[in-house]
Each structure stands twice: as structure tokens, then as C-alpha cells.
Amino acid sequence: MKPYSIYISGVGGQGIIKTSTVIGEAAMRSNIPVVMSEIHGMAQRGGVVSTELKIGDAYSPIIKEGTADLLLAFEPLEALRALPKLNRKTSVVVNTSPIYPSSLRQSDVPYPDVDVIMDELRSKTGEVFAMDAETIAKNAGHILSLNMVMLGGAAAVEGFPLSKKLILDSMRSNLPEKSIPINMKAFEEGFGICSKG
């Protein structure tokens, strides 16, 4: 199977590593090879966190510049930082709720306008699915379900190589039992927003 490359970016505390784990286990459950790499900085302080996954026949998880099939951006500014990995066919699922880096909070440099960020993404990539995942997560029952909102969106993107059922089964195996109802609701909300039918 030709590898399907997923780049996930955001900041510490958003559940990026857990999201990658859920995707990875879902691939293994369907006997599809998967490789993953993670990079995280000062996660407890809201530092940059990213993971790279390839689902299919791949020897390295590292995504070469301009070759990602899907960007899952948990934070708008981090979506911009990911642009070198993307191309005009890359699908993008992006959370529109910004998290202001401490470096910006302590300076006179303003956070870029989110609409400008979205326009930039749309000008350089394929289809962009933008949603306020933070508010959706809160409405589902808890802000920490934001990552499952994003995962739901990813699972609905055309060409995503894993079935919704496999992802849901993997969620049940990898998330705390008491959080399952909220996370399932969050996933379904994200899926609904990005689904075309």
C-alpha cells in the first residue's frame, strides 16, 4: 500500500501524541503497516509538539517537504509552521482557536489574524476544513476532548486510509473508560463537520 502521510502539529497539552497513538493502533488492528515519529519541545509550557505518521509501506516516518497527504493542525499558527511539509493536494484539518505562545504574550508582536492564516493555508494547499475545536470540545463535555474533535475531522477527509469503526475501536482501547462518552461525542462532532455526505 502506498504510504499515506499525516503531519500533526500543535502545542503541548493538546493531546497530539495520544491522537497519533489512536491512529497508529487503528492501522495495526487492520494489519496495515504504520510508522511514527514524534517531536516535542517544552510540552508542559505550551511548546511545539508534532508527530509524523505514515500508514502503509514506509521505512521512515519522516515526511519529506511537500509530500504530506494530511495536516492535522491543533493550533492555527502551528498550521503555518507546517507549510513546508504540504503541497497543493494536501488536505488540512485545522483548529481555529489560537493558543498564544509565551514569546508573543511577552512582546509587542501581535498574534496573526486567524482569517489571514486560513487564507494562506487555502492558497497553498488542497481542501481546508477549519473549525473551532475548542468550543466543540467544551460543548461535548470537556476541553480535553479537543484532540478527538480533530481526529473525527481527519477520519472524515476523503482518502483517509482507516475506517471510522477502526478509529472508534482504537479510541476505546486507548482512552480512559470514564472519558469515552465525551470523547465519542467530540469525535462525531468533528467527523460531521468535515464529512461530505
Q: Are strands 70-73 and 48-55 parallel, antiparallel or unpaired?
A: unpaired
**Per-domain residue ranges for the chain?**
4-194
* 3.40.50.510, 2.40.30.10, 3.60.20.10, 3.40.920.10: CATH of 4-194: 3.40.920.10
Query: Which residues does 105 contact at the CB level (< 8 Å), separation at least 6?
Result: none
- One pLDDT digit (tens) per residue for the chain, 197 residues: 789 999 999 888 888 999 999 999 999 999 999 999 876 555 455 677 889 999 999 888 899 999 999 999 999 999 999 999 999 999 999 999 998 766 566 777 788 899 999 999 999 999 999 999 999 999 999 999 999 999 999 999 999 999 999 999 999 999 999 999 999 999 999 999 999 64
